[in-house]
Amino acid sequence: MTGSVLEFIYGILFAPRATFGRLSDRPPLAFGLITAAVVSVLLLLANVRSLAAVLSQIVAPQAGLLAGMLAVALLPLAALGFLFTAATYDFTAQLLGGRGTAVGLMALLGLAELPRLALLPVVAFVDAAWVVILVAVGVTIWVAVLRVLAIMALYRIGTGRAVVTVAAVPVLVAIVATVIVGVFWGTIVSMVFLTYGS
């Protein structure tokens, strides 16, 4: 990687097409994974205040401690979510004719998490829920666009197929959630029927 770190970050945030295109031949795996990890840790720490405020309504004396413990416990889940996203994107992109690698994708996806840093001051210091939601939606869209551009550069596929690839994760999550909810309610209904139906 050439240039200063600040120039590199600027390229990811504001000139992503050219930057991802340059990085696609030799994706910086270590830098990408470190970026994703740092962003996740900082966001979880920033959310401790909000978690403590919610928990204080239930267990006031231990709210801060429990919020910190919960934030730490969520780190492995964040890592698993990252791996699941990368694996799903790689499978979908390969299925659509792409020729990239899962390792390279993890590197670029990690870099695509950079816009989430904009959430830090908002989550940590802003109490107005509508402001937090508005910024979160904007950042989510920004990250999604970066992911599309990263997949296009790495897998050498068009915009449409890259968008389908990115959409695969929420679609898959929605399907799994629907199945789980269906099984749960089906079990409840069956138990009620067996208990009171005869």
SS3 assignment, position 125: helix
For residue 155, pLDDT beyond 80: yes
Which of 74-78, 85-89, 99-103, 187-191 is predicted least confidently?
187-191
Please tell me the number of Cα atoms within 13 Å of 54 on its side-chain side. Answer: 8
Domain spans in the chain, listed from the N-terminal domain onward: 5-196
pLDDT number for residue 2: 46
Residue 154 near residue 94 (C-beta atoms within 8 A): no
Looking at per-residue pLDDT, the higher value among 72 and 28 belongs to 28
Tell whether pTM > 0.75. Answer: yes
Looking at per-residue pLDDT, the higher value among 116 and 41 belongs to 116
Per-residue pLDDT averaged across 107-129, rounded? 88
pLDDT number for residue 68: 64
Please tell me the number of Cα atoms within 13 Å of 152 on its side-chain side. Answer: 19
Per-residue pLDDT averaged across 8-32, rounded? 91
For residue 122, how far is the Cα from the chain centroid? 18
pLDDT number for residue 74: 77
Banded pLDDT at 1 (limits 50, 70, 90): very low
Question: What one-character-per-residue DSSP string does 44-96 give?
Answer: HHHHHHHHHHHHTTT-GGGHHHHHHHHHHHHHHHHHHHHHHHHHHHHHHHHHT
* Cα–Cα dist 14/181, whole Å: 41
Highest-scoring range by mean pLDDT, 4-8, 17-21, 53-57, 73-77: 17-21
